[in-house]
Amino acid sequence: MLACPASFFNPESIRDRQAGMTDNVVLLMNSLVIIREIKESDAEEFLNLCNRIDAETPYMMFESGERPTTIEDQRGEIKDILSRDNQTILIAEKGNQLIGYLAAYGGRYKRNRQTVYIVAGILQGFTSQGVGTRLFEQIEEWAKKRKIHRLDLTVMVHNETALALYRKIGFAIEGRKKHSLFINDSYVDEYWMAKLLTY
């Protein structure tokens, strides 16, 4: 896995946004993957990506076809997310295709605005190639620029790949949510995991 300066590949694509967010081009398995912040104009492709991931994996919240969002709803949701400094969605793009995302939802109030809840998903054909690791590295960099202190997430206890990733990058299990989900006629437990960022 090799991190390359984005400007070497596509100077026009670099957007030095208010908080210093730049596109990040990485070489993964011999192909270029761009990791960048979502834009409202990504709404349709992003919705398609989420629908595909929901259908491919049993580990997301939505079951296949359950996600209610229309493209307009999706555009509105992206706008709402980007309207606050403590939340964002990072997307991974290969060629012209979106292949994965990491959404970070920030607390709304003074007392929890330094806490961010994370959801991540990658198309099955692009898992286990380092994309998840890069998305988490990028969100940590983004979070540190905003003095965010706590990254939160939940994960099904049998999701071995996700657990391995979260442990590898420093998330700790804080508790077990017994029977928090109901999937295929069975109750499923989740772990609460978190990583505290220090400065």
Ligand X SMILES: CC(C)(COP(=O)(O)OP(=O)(O)OC[C@H]1O[C@@H](n2cnc3c(N)ncnc32)[C@H](O)[C@@H]1OP(=O)(O)O)[C@@H](O)C(=O)NCCC(=O)NCCS
Binding residues for ligand X (CB under 6 A) = 57, 59-60, 120-122, 127-133, 155, 159-162, 164-165, 168
Q: Output the smallest distance, CB 66 to ligand X, in A.
A: 15
Nearer to ligand X, 151 or 162 (CB): 162
Nearer to ligand X, 97 or 128 (CB): 128
Q: Output the smallest distance, CB 156 to ligand X, in A.
A: 7
Nearer to ligand X, 116 or 162 (CB): 162
Pull the structure tokens for residue 142.
């983004």
Q: Output the smallest distance, CB 22 to ligand X, in A.
A: 21
What's the CA gap between 128 and 147, in Å, rounded? Answer: 30
Nearer to ligand X, 28 or 148 (CB): 28
- Cβ-based neighbours of 160, under 8 Å, separated by 6 or more: none
Longest dimension (CA), the chain: 51
C-alpha angle 192-197-157 in degrees, rounded to nearest 5: 20
Helix axes 71-82, 43-56, angle to 10 degrees: 100
**188 and 181 in contact (C-beta within 8 Å)?**
yes
Q: Is 92 strand, coil or helix? A: strand
Question: C-alpha 7: how far from its chain's center?
Answer: 23
Q: Output the smallest distance, CB 11 to ligand X, in A.
A: 27
Nearer to ligand X, 106 or 132 (CB): 132
**69 and 47 in contact (C-beta within 8 Å)?**
yes
Q: Output the smallest distance, CB 106 to ligand X, in A.
A: 18
